[in-house]
Each structure stands twice: as C-alpha cells, then as structure tokens.
C-alpha cells in the first residue's frame, strides 16, 4: 500500500487523503456539535428554547470556507489527471484487446500474451479496444483505469516503479463472467523483460528488432 | 351533478378514512382523487416494493459471503443486482417522499383542499402501479429478468437476451408518473396557497418539493426520449448508440446521466425537506437560516443539472469537459453543506427531545454527511479514475440514497404516520428498530468504502481472497439491518391496527398547518381555509418566555 507502484500513486493518494482529512474534520465537527447540543440543550435540562433566526456572518463563513477548500481539492484532482492524460513520447506501446471475458495484449514485435508483462521504470502506453461491449481496464495498484469502448480507441499510460505483480480487473460491467475478467500485470526488470518479449517470437521480427 | 356536489360538501368534514364518495370499499380507494388517499395508496405500494428490493439486496450480500458460489450462479446474481437497482431507484427512492408525503401533506401544509389536478394525480398513481407490475412481470417472462444493471449501458443491453426492453418500457412509464406528479406540485404551490401563505411562509418541505418537482418536469423527459431513441435504433436500424450500427455508446451514457444525475436530487432533496421540518419541531425553536435552506434547494436543482458527466470521467472525454464537470461537481456540494450547517445550528439553544423522528433526522445528517463528503472525494478527477466503478461508489450512493433518503423516509413515517392514521406506535420499539437499522447500515456499507479504495470493482459475483474480510463484515451488517427493518415494519403496521388512539391534534408541538387539524384529517383537510399570518417555525412562546425572564 505504502510503496508507490506507479508514478500516479503519489498524486492520487495525496489528493485522496487530503480530501479525506478535510472530510473527517467536518464530519467530526458536525457530529460532535450535534451530540454536544443534544446533551446540553436536552429538554429536561433546558425546557425553554431560544429563537435564533440566523446569522449572516456565519452563513458567509460556512459558504466561503468550504468553497475555498473544494477549489483546492479540485486543483489537486485536476493536476493528477493532467499527468494521467499526457502520454510521454518515448512510451512503449502495448495493444490491449478486451472481449467477453478476457484481456489480451499484443506487443510491437508481434508477441501476444494473456498476462501483461512490462519493464520497470519505463512509460508504457496502452491502446485499448473492445471486440464487443464496454469494459474497463483497471489496475488498482497503479491507480489506473480507462473504459474500453467498442468503436473508439481509448489510450492510457503508466510507469511501473517496482518489480512486482498486480491484479488487472475489468471494471465496467460486461455480463455473465464480468468478475472473472481478470488477469495480472507483471513488472520485470528491463533485461528480464527483453528476454521475455523476444522469446518465441518468429525469427524475422526478432532479426528486425535486433537491428 | 349538483346533488353530488352538495352530497360531497356535506361529508367533507368527516375523517378521510371514513369518507364516502362516489365509490365504496376498495374502489373508493383506487379511484379516489383525494390526495390523502392517493398518498396512502402510494405508501402501501412503496413499502411493498421496498420489501422486494430489500430481499434482492439481502440475496446479493448473501451470495458475496464466500468466494465462489454461495447460493446462486452468476446469471442469477446479475439479475439480482439489476432488479435491486431498478426496484429501489424507480419504484422506491424516486417516488418515495414526494408521492407519499408530498401528496398527503403538501396541500395541507400550504392550506389547500387538494392538489391542483386531482385526477392527474390519480393517473400518476396508476402509471406507477402499471410500471411496477411490469418490472415484476419481467422477472417471470421467458428470457429472464434483465441482467444489465440499472444503468442499461449500450451495447451490452442490446446484446443480452434478457427482458431489457420490457424493463426499459417500465422505466419509461414510471417516468411519466414522475413528470405528472411534478407538474401537479409546481402548479399546486403556485396556485393553491392559502391566503397569507407567502413564499417565505411556506414550510421548508414545500420548498424542497417545489425544487424537486421542477427537476422531475425538466429532467425526466430526457430519459423518455433516450428510451424512444433506442426503439428507433432497434426498429429502424438507425445507428445512434450501438457501434455495430455506427452509433456511439458514449452518447447513450451522456443522455442516461443527463437524467439520472438530477434524479439523484429528485431522491435526496425531499428528504432534506423532511429533516428541515423535524429539526425545529423537536428542538422547539425557529429554524436557523430559513432562506438559506430554501434557496439551497433551488441551487441544488440548478447546479445539479450540470454535473452529469462526472459519472464518465474514465470514459475518455476531452480534457475541457473533465475540467468543467469536475469543477461543477465540487460546487454542487456547497448548497448541501450549507443545509447541514444550518440544521446543526438549529440545535443550538434549542429544547431538544430525542423522539424517534428526531433520531432519524439526526442520523440523516450524519449519514448524509458521509455520503456527501465521499461524493466530494470522487469529484477529484485523478481520485475518481481510481475509484469509479468500485465498491467505493456503491458505498457512497447507499450512504446518500439509503442513509439519506431512506432514513428521511423513515423519519417521515415516524413523524407523520400518527397524523395520517390517528394512532401512535410504540416509541421504545421504534428506538430499538432505529438502532438496529443504524448499526446494521454502517456495518453493511462502511467496509465497501475500504475495499473500494483497495480496488474491489462493483457488480462482481466473485472476488480475490484479500477482499474476503470486508465482504463478510458487510454481509453480517445486512442481517442486522434487516432485523431493524423487521422491527420497524412490525411496529408501524401494528400501530395502525391496535396503536393507541391519539386525540391531540399536535403530538410533537409542530407549528406547520398539518398540526392544527384533526388526526386523521377530515376529507376537506380544513373546516375553514386558514388565514396564515406567521412563518412555519416561529415558536413565539420562546420569545414570550424570554420577556418574562427579563422582567
Ligand atoms: Cu469486461
Ligand atoms: Cu451524479
């Protein structure tokens, strides 16, 4: 959890925990006040209420303060998102095909796989296409998700930062075996990846690649 | 005709439950145009559909108790969550407060004898029943119940062999019921307020219904048009949504959410209205910031129409669209926050009695705050990318829709049922039921936040072992919650049959008009249409008390 598995994790988690912290503060404040008032101004203890029609100063305060806070939240979310949507030029490309109910991956040299192997610390761009209905390509550990929609090609990217492996889920409901549309991303060292990606690939492509 | 009129005016002063109009017996109910009887008809239907929806929810949670198959196969599970969603949203939460308590109390609260169009009101109940029956029939027809989720996303919904069209048609009809109720309420509020009942003397529940009614009228036709476009596509082969015909599935998502996001406010705003009624009554003082609460309902209705695409942040929209929709989503949180602050401030220096309606209202504030704040979490673009379509969303909207609207409905039931039937429930049992519901609710839904953040996708029949513990806690929560519901149903239904009769018009010490009339009300509501001279929560006795103390 604490180790950042992709370059998005830091900014997403920061935005998330910032909003959670603000939320917990307000929730505790509101709940605490409610409980305090209910006890202090209980009818037995306080048989006569006092009418207070409102207070413009307070209304302004509790409109302006949350507005400023949400603008910060918006900003953190937006900057994180901008990073997600700007794909680096030097990314390695993997074509991802989604269908009921599996993902398959195809590399530039023609290699195909049901598991996504990627090199560590190298930006990977995924081209997402669907053969049938809507799916979504989701790697929770990388904070990465993108819908896979038939008739249009969505793209996403990530840089895996640790040698490890993680689940890939389909996150958009796609029928009977939606929950079994599951595979893994395996992050390898650069050299291990190069060995893997060239293994069993027809020689011609291999030769081209070696040049 | 003239004899009929005199006949009705003769017994307009009898209690509406005993009133005899054109028809007797069952017909006297299902063909009645009395807004109170229609409210009761809705109530019976609504609580029945709720029980069905809860049963499906129970089965979903039971299936998820263990990894792999627990009770049913995936196809059945997929039908369970679709039916749970369709029934809860279209048959329970959307009609919920407006159809039952709006019908019954809106005319009374503004000093009217009935809604503006009583016959259309009856028609909208019939449409609701027809739609509801169609949903139930779709379960039994060959092909089997829809398995698309309540969102009916294309292209899956046109590929599946299940009864999607039939269920969609049901939603279409239910939409009309909702539009008619909306038109009726807007007109009623504009035209039928009693003498002296200015806009700012209206109870806040009426304000909430007014804002809601506008959303119903303006947003619901879009879902109707969308469903018609699907028919056009299927029958005429015009490619609109299905990529196989050259259409765009994203266009469907836009149209769906242009309605369905505002629909969220159709669901929650009336519950906010209920809370705004209950808090001042049980704190026995004026409400804090009346106008801010009233206008924040309108602000929610306006802003809430412009945020729909926040359901689609992962779909690949342009960056500009993402920017605008995220920003507006954050801003729509502000009017809700204003309400929460004003309600809390209303407790200050009150004289608070924790009767069952007040317990529900305070629980509403707590649960709705969690639901609202976790909505704010998802407004942040980068965070939403991670959280969308996980169980975090499921938890968020159950906190808003059940913790908010659901608790609002139970608050309303405990607040107004004694007025509607003239009989009181057992308060102790009501509190026991409340605590079971509250504890069960949080045990059921809170773990979904945690596992959603950890990556558990929604609408999953099966899951990885690391999510087991959260699923198990959640399922146990569902049992506690249902136990609470059984207590509540038992207590309320028993009270209607053998509850203590109440002679007091005003059991809670409310100052709105429904507390000045008989329990149960007479057919005409008022013996004489009241002249309104003061606002809804003045509690002048507090000021008099204060003067005495000063002397
Ligand atoms: Cu899928
Ligand atoms: Cu929404």
- For residue B70, the model assigns a pLDDT of 92
In whole angstroms, give the CA distance from residue A59 to residue B240: 47
Rounded distance between C-alpha atoms, residue A93 and residue A126, angstroms: 6
| Residue A14 within any structural domain of the chain | yes
| Res. B295: pLDDT tops 80 | yes
The answer, yes or no, to whether residue A2 has pLDDT greater than 70, is: no
pLDDT, tens digit (0-9, with 9 covering 90-100), for B382-418 = 999 999 999 999 999 999 999 999 999 999 999 999 9
Distance (Å, whole) CA A117 – CA B243: 30
Domain end call among A24, A54, A85: A85
- What is the spatial distance between Cα A106 and Cα A116, in angstroms, rounded to a whole number? 9
Clarify whether residues A59 and A135 are in a common domain.
Answer: no
- Please give the Cα distance from B436 to B360 (Å, whole number): 12
B36 closest CA partner among B21, B53, B51, B50: B21
d(CA B416, CA B245): 53
**Interchain CB contact of B147 with A (< 8 Å):** yes
Q: In this structure, are residues B476 and B443 in contact, taking their beta carbons and an 8 Å threshold?
A: yes
Structure confidence by residue, pLDDT tens digits, B40-73: 999 999 999 999 999 999 999 999 999 999 999 9
**Positive/negative CA dihedral, B426, B432, B436, B437:** positive
From A12, A55, A151, residue closest to B243, measured CB to CB: A151
Mean pLDDT of B533-541: 84
Q: What is the mean pLDDT of residues B74-97?
A: 92
Q: What is the pLDDT of residue A208?
A: 42
| Averaged pLDDT of chain B | 90
Distance from CA of B348 to the nearest CA of A (A): 6
DSSP B51-75: HHHHHHHHHHHHHTTSSS-SSS-HH
Q: Report CA(B479)–ligand 2 centroid distance (Å).
A: 29
- Give the Å distance between the CA of B300 and the centre of ligand 2: 12
Instruction: Examine the fold and report which residue of A26, A52, A85 is the final residue of a domain before the chain moves on.
Output: A85
How far apart (Å, rounded) are the C-alpha atoms in residues B487 and B131? 29
**B231 CA → ligand 1 middle, Å:** 25
Asked whether the predicted pLDDT for residue B545 surpasses 80, the reply is no
Q: How far is the C-alpha of B6 from the C-alpha of B20, rounded, in Å?
A: 13
Q: Which residues of B touch A53 (CB under 8 A)?
A: 286, 288-290
Could you identify the residue written with the tokens 């959410």? B257
Do A20 and A110 lie in a common domain? Answer: no
pLDDT at B10 over 60: no
The answer to ipTM > 0.95 is no
What tokens appear for B97 in the block?
């407060």
Tokens matching residue B492 = 């309320």
A100 and A193 fall within a common domain: yes
Is A1 within the bounds of a domain?
Answer: no
Please indicate, yes or no, if residue A3 is contained in any of the structural domains. Answer: no
Q: Answer with the one of A26, A60, A85 that is the final residue of a domain.
A: A85
Nearest to B92, CA basis, from B37, B149, B135 = B135
CB neighbour list of residue B388: distance below 8 Å, 6 or more residues apart: A145, A171, B311, B313, B314, B378
pLDDT tens digit sequence for A122-148 = 999 999 999 999 999 999 999 999 999
Say whether pLDDT at B287 is over 60. Answer: yes
Same domain, A23 and A123: no
CB contact under 8 A, A150 and B249: yes
- Cβ–Cβ gap A19/B380 under 8 Å: yes
- Least distant ligand from the CA of A99: 1
Q: Based on the domain organization, do A77 and A139 belong to the same domain?
A: no
Q: Which residue of A has its CA nearest to B314?
A: A146
Q: How far is CA B86 from the centre of its chain?
A: 14
Domains in chain A, number? 2
Q: The domain B27-550: what is its CATH number?
A: 1.20.210.10
pLDDT class of B26 with cuts at 50, 70, 90? confident
pLDDT over 70 (residue B6): no
Clarify whether residues A122 and A71 are in a common domain. no
Cβ contacts of A146 on chain B, cutoff 8 Å: 314, 316, 385
Strand A102-107's sheet: what is its strand order?
Answer: A112-113, A102-107, A92-99, A123-130, A154-159
Interface A-B, measured as beta-carbon pairs within 8 A, has a size of: 278
Judged by a CB distance cut-off of 8 A, whether residue B243 touches chain A is yes
Distance B307 CA to ligand 1 centre (A): 26
Q: What is the pLDDT of residue B439?
A: 97
Q: Do both A116 and A201 map to the same domain?
A: yes
Q: Is the pLDDT of residue B156 over 80?
A: yes
DSSP B191-222: H-PPTT--GGGS-HHHHHHHHHHHHHHHHHHH
CA B312 – CA A147 distance, rounded (Å) = 9
Contact A154, A84 (CB under 8 A): no
Check whether residue A106 and residue A163 sit in a common domain: yes
- Are A112 and A167 members of one domain? yes
CA distance A211 to chain B (A): 36
By the 8 A CB rule, do B174 and B127 touch? Answer: yes
Q: Can you give the C-alpha Rg of chain A in angstroms?
A: 25
Question: Do A120 and A164 have their domain in common?
Answer: yes
CATH for A146: 2.60.40.420
Q: Give B 380-409 residues with CB within 8 A of chain A.
A: 380-386, 388-390
Parent domain of A40: 9-85
């Amino acid at each position: 959890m604490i180790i950042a598995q992709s370059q998005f994790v830091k900014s997403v988690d920061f935005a998330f925990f910032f909003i959670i912290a603000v939320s917990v503060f307000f929730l505790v404040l509101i709940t605490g006040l409610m409980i305090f008032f209910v006890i202090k101004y209980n009818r037995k203890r306080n048989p006569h209420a006092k009418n207070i029609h409102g207070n413009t100063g307070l209304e302004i305060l509790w409109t302006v303060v949350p507005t400023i806070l949400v603008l910060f939240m918006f900003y953190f979310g937006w900057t994180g998102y901008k990073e997600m949507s700007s794909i680096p030029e030097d990314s390695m490309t993997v074509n991802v095909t989604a269908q009921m109910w599996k993902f398959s991956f195809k590399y530039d040299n023609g290699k195909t796989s049901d598991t996504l192997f990627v090199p560590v610390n190298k930006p990977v761009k995924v081209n997402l296409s669907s053969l049938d209905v809507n799916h979504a390509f989701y790697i929770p550990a990388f904070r990465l998700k993108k819908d896979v929609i038939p008739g249009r090609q969505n793209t996403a990217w990530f840089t895996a930062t640790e040698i490890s492996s993680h689940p890939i889920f389909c996150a958009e409901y796609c029928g009977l075996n939606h929950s079994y549309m599951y595979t893994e991303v395996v992050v390898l060292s650069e050299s291990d990846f190069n060995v893997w990606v060239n293994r069993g690939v027809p020689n011609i492509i291999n030769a081209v690649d070696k040049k | 005709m003239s004899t009929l009129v005199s006949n009705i005016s003769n017994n307009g002063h009898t209690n509406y439950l005993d009133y005899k109009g054109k028809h007797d017996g069952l017909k006297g109910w299902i063909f009645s145009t009395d807004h109170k009887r229609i409210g009761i008809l809705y109530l019976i239907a609504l609580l029945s559909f709720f029980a069905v929806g809860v049963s499906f929810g129970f089965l979903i949670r039971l299936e998820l108790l263990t990894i792999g198959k627990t009770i049913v196969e995936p196809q059945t599970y997929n039908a369970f969550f679709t039916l749970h969603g369709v029934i809860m949203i279209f048959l329970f939460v959307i009609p919920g407060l407006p159809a039952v308590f709006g019908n019954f109390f809106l005319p009374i609260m503004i000093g009217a004898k009935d809604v503006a169009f009583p016959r259309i009101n009856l028609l909208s109940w019939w449409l609701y029943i027809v739609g509801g029956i169609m949903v139930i029939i779709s379960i039994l027809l060959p092909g089997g119940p829809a398995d698309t989720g309540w969102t009916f996303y294309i292209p899956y919904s046109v590929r599946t062999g299940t009864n999607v069209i039939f269920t969609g048609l049901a939603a279409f009809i239910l939409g009309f019921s909702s539009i008619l109720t909306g038109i009726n309420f807007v007109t009623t509020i504009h035209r039928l307020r009693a003498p002296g009942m200015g806009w700012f003397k209206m109870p806040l529940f009426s304000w909430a219904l007014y804002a809601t009614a506008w959303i119903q009228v303006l947003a619901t036709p879009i879902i109707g048009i969308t469903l018609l476009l699907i028919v056009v596509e299927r029958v005429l082969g015009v490619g609109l949504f299905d990529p196989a015909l050259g259409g765009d599935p994203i266009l469907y998502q836009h149209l769906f959410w242009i309605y369905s996001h505002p629909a969220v406010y159709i669901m929650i705003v009336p519950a906010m209205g209920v809370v705004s009624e209950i808090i001042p009554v049980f704190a026995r003082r004026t409400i804090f910031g009346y106008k801010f609460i009233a206008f924040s309902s309108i602000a929610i209705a306006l802003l809430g129409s412009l945020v729909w695409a926040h359901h689609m942040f992962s779909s690949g929209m342009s960056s500009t669209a993402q920017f605008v929709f995220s920003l507006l989503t954050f801003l729509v949180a502000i009017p809700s926050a204003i309400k929460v602050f004003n309600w809390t401030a209303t407790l200050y220096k009150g004289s608070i009695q924790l009767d069952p309606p007040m317990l529900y209202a305070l629980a509403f504030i707590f649960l709705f705050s969690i639901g609202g704040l976790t909505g704010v979490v998802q407004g942040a673009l980068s965070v939403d990318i991670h959280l969308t379509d996980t169980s975090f969303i499921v938890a968020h909207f159950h906190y808003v829709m059940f913790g908010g609207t659901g608790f609002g409905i139970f608050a309303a039931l405990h607040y107004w049922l004694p007025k509607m039937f003239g009989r009181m429930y057992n308060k102790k049992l009501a509190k026991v039921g409340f605590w079971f519901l509250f504890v069960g609710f949080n045990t059921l839904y809170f773990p979904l936040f945690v596992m959603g953040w950890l990556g558990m996708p929604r609408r999953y029949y099966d899951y990885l072992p690391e999510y087991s513990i959260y699923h198990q806690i959640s399922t146990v929560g569902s049992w506690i919650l249902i136990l609470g519901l059984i207590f509540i149903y038992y207590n309320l239904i028993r009270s209607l049959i053998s509850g203590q009769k109440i002679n007091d018009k005003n059991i809670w010490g409310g100052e709105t008009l429904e507390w000045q009339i008989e329990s149960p009300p007479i057919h005409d509501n008022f013996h004489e249409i009241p002249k309104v001279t003061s606002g809804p929560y003045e509690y002048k006795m507090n000021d008099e008390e204060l003067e005495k103390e000063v002397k």
